[in-house]
Amino acid sequence: MNAAAATPAQPEAEAAPYLALLGQMMRIRAFEEQARRLFASGQVPGLLHLCSGQEAMAVGVCSALRPTDVIASNHRGHGHCLAKGADPARLMAEILGCASGYGLGRGGSMHVFDPANGNIGTNGIVGGGIPLAAGAALSAQRRGTDGVAAGFFGDGALNQGLLFEVLNMAAIWRLPVLFVCENNGYGEFTAIETVTAGKSMIARGQVFDIPAEHVDGMDVLAVRAAAERAVARARAGEGPSFIVGTTYRYGGHHAGDAQDYKDKVEAEAWQKKDPIPRLARHLIERGLASAAHIDALGKEVEAAIEEAVKAAKAAAPPTASDLVRHLYA
Ligand SMILES: Cc1ncc(C[n+]2csc(CCOP(=O)(O)OP(=O)(O)O)c2C)c(N)n1
């Protein structure tokens, strides 16, 4: 069958939520590609940790949250920010150090705060988002709202003592929080199996009687379904959940990392599981969208990100007098 010519057999309304997920993942991919190029051409001050390959985790989880729910991110956080509603022009401006960025260009990639969209920040402390999310959940619980928080962290945080303290507290207080581990196989340049004991990662949640599940982190629908189960429990007062998604970062630990520690065969195998074409195939097979429609969506998203980058680059750089603003005297 010529997929491009296939007519969607279902009404647009049925396709819309899937296309929204696909568009969000494409948006993050396009943003990260632009960020990578800007870094390679020396326009980004500081380090960049890109999340290409991991889009299904950010999009799957954030799509199960309300705008008023909260996320806490980590150092690999552009996808989390965008999936929770960040404006790509402001995000890129922050990365480029411009005053129109989320932190007036002072924080960069690892200090992006977007409270209007419920994002209490990316941060450079491994596991740092774990207690921040629990704190936001405690706040929602104390204020009597049905708000939920999600904390994203990498597999490198599975061995942080902080995780165990927070899991215990969240379980005891039945906090409405999702602990979301993105297991991309590496912490910096070290393979997870060489540093992480225990056959089951979700056992780290189960030992506190926290409902925990492994999920295919390259399948946005599976991630979303797991997040929806966890959010429903949290809103119902049933406390925290622990989700471990298996995923892969296509790039290095940071932009510019030569990735000598990675096996080419392994990297190629993960590319075959790419969450974007995977959802696209699913939509075409179900007759929810044609290949031509998906192609057009990809182009539209890329053009929008290019515009956002242009706007970010056109923003004024900080002035010398900005240096002493927003400081304690
Ligand atoms: C508490 C702490 N220890 C060490 C570091 C240095 N560091 C930065 S990123 C990183 C690896 C993080 O790996 P992971 O949590 O799996 O996230 P990924 O980079 O794979 O997304 C380390 C050890 C840090 N930033 N914070």
Of the candidate ranges 4-8, 19-23, 187-191, 250-254, the one whose mean pLDDT is the lowest: 4-8
Query: What pLDDT is attached to residue 319?
Result: 85
Cα–ligand 1 centroid distance for 151 (angstroms):
15
Does a structural domain hold residue 295?
A: no
Asked whether residue 2 carries a pLDDT value surpassing 60, the answer given is: no
Bigger pLDDT: 6 or 137? 137
Closest atom of ligand 1 to 253 CA is 19
Q: Is residue 224 part of a domain?
A: yes
Q: Is the CB of 184 under 6 A from ligand 1?
A: yes
Is the distance from the beta carbon of residue 124 to the nearest atom of ligand 1 less than 6 Å? yes
Q: How many structural domains does the chain have?
A: 1
In a domain? residue 200? yes
Judge whether residue 4 has pLDDT over 50: no
pLDDT at 183 over 80: yes
Residue to probe by mutation, ligand 1, list 122, 188, 248, most atoms within 8 Å of CB: 188
Mean pLDDT of 18-32: 98
Count Cβ neighbours within 10 Å for each residue of 218-240 and write b for 16 or more, e otherwise.
bbbbbbbebbebbbebbbeeebb
Q: Which atom of ligand 1 is nearest to the CA of 51?
A: 21
Question: What sign results for the dihedral spanned by CA atoms 87, 15, 152, 227?
Answer: positive
Residue 180 domain flag: yes
Helices (H), 63-122: 78-83, 88-96
Cα(154) to ligand 1 centroid in Å equals 8
Report the residue among 126, 193, 261 best suited for mutation to probe ligand 1: largest number of ligand atoms under 8 A from its CB.
Answer: 126
Q: Per-residue confidence at 321, pLDDT binned at 50, 70, 90?
A: confident
C-beta 186 within 6 A of ligand 1: yes
Please give the distance, rounded to the nearest whole angstrom, from the Cα atom of residue 16 to the centre of ligand 1: 36
* Whether the Cβ atoms of residue 150 and residue 133 lie closer than 8 Å to each other: yes
Q: How far is the CA of 315 from the centre of ligand 1 (A)?
A: 31
Is 317 a domain residue? Answer: no
What does the pLDDT read at residue 8? 47
Q: Which residues pair with 183 in a beta bridge?
A: 246
Q: How many CB atoms lie within 10 A of CB 47?
A: 16
- Record the pTM: 0.95
Could you tell me the distance, in angstroms and rounded to a whole number, from the CA of residue 238 to the centre of ligand 1?
31
Q: Check if 188 has its Cβ closer than 6 Å to any atom of ligand 1.
A: yes
Mean of per-residue pLDDT scores for the chain: 95
* Ligand 1 neighbour 76 (Cβ under 6 A): yes
154 CB within 6 A, ligand 1: yes
CATH number of the CATH domain containing 266: 3.40.50.970
The DSSP bridge pattern shows strands 149-154 and 70-72 to be parallel
Please indicate whether residue 51, judged by its CB atom, sits closer than 6 Å to ligand 1: no
Q: What is the pLDDT of residues 87-133, one digit of tens each?
A: 999 999 999 999 899 999 999 999 999 999 999 999 999 999 999 99
pLDDT class for 11, splitting at 50, 70, 90? low
Mutate which of 49, 75, 153 to test ligand 1's pocket (most atoms within 8 Å of Cβ)?
Answer: 75
- Residue nearest ligand 1's atom 12 by CA: 187
pLDDT band at 226 (very low <50, low <70, confident <90, very high): very high
- For atom 17 of ligand 1, the residue with the nearest CA is 154
Instruction: Please tell me the residue having the least CA distance from ligand 1 atom 3.
Output: 126
Within a domain: 237: yes
Judged by average pLDDT, the poorest of 96-100, 127-131, 151-155, 163-167 is 96-100
Instruction: Kindly give the distance from the C-alpha atom of residue 49 to the centroid of ligand 1, in angstroms, as a whole number.
Output: 10
Atom index in ligand 1 nearest the CA of residue 183 equals: 16
Average pLDDT score over residue span 53-67: 98
Ligand 1 atom with least separation from CA of 158: 15
What stretches of 97-178 show up as alpha helix (H) in DSSP? Answer: 129-143, 161-172
Model confidence at 134, in pLDDT bands (50, 70, 90)? very high
- Mean pLDDT over residues 277-286, rounded? 97
Whether residue 172 is contained in a domain is answered as yes
Q: Is residue 14 part of a domain?
A: no
Going by C-alpha positions, the residue among 125, 139, 251 that lies closest to residue 186 is 251
Q: Are 244 and 183 in contact (CB under 8 A)?
A: yes
Residue 268, token pair as written in the block: 């190629």
Name the residue range of residue 112's domain: 45-272
Lowest mean pLDDT among 79-88, 97-106, 165-174: 97-106
